[in-house]
Amino acid sequence: MAESSPEEKDLGMFVDEKLNMSRQCALAAQKANRVLGCITRGVTSRLREVILPHYSALVRPHLECCIQLWGPQYRRDIELLEQVQRRPRS
């Protein structure tokens, strides 16, 4: 017999029994940070004109994917997502 989990994944999004989306925010920030790290290591130029298109195309989608559904509810979740955006790109 399968045990019930307090957290479910549905349509690629994690939600717990209280409809808390904190884990989804943490996973989105983690993925965005990994991609941003790849950009930082892979692109030799640090000019804004070079980094910004990469950031817009590769990082922002992880932060904005289905945000209308799982929008951060708590201040700590909002700060976690904003921390990715403030991360130094050099």
Q: What are phi and psi of 7, to 5 degrees?
A: -130, 140
Q: Give 17-74 pLDDT, tens digit per residue.
A: 777 778 888 888 999 999 999 998 999 988 989 989 999 999 998 888 777 676 777 8
- Give strand pairing partners of 13: 10
Structure tokens of 17? 């029994």
pTM reported for the whole predicted model: 0.74
Phi-psi region of 19 (alpha: psi -120 to 50; beta: other; left: phi over 0): left
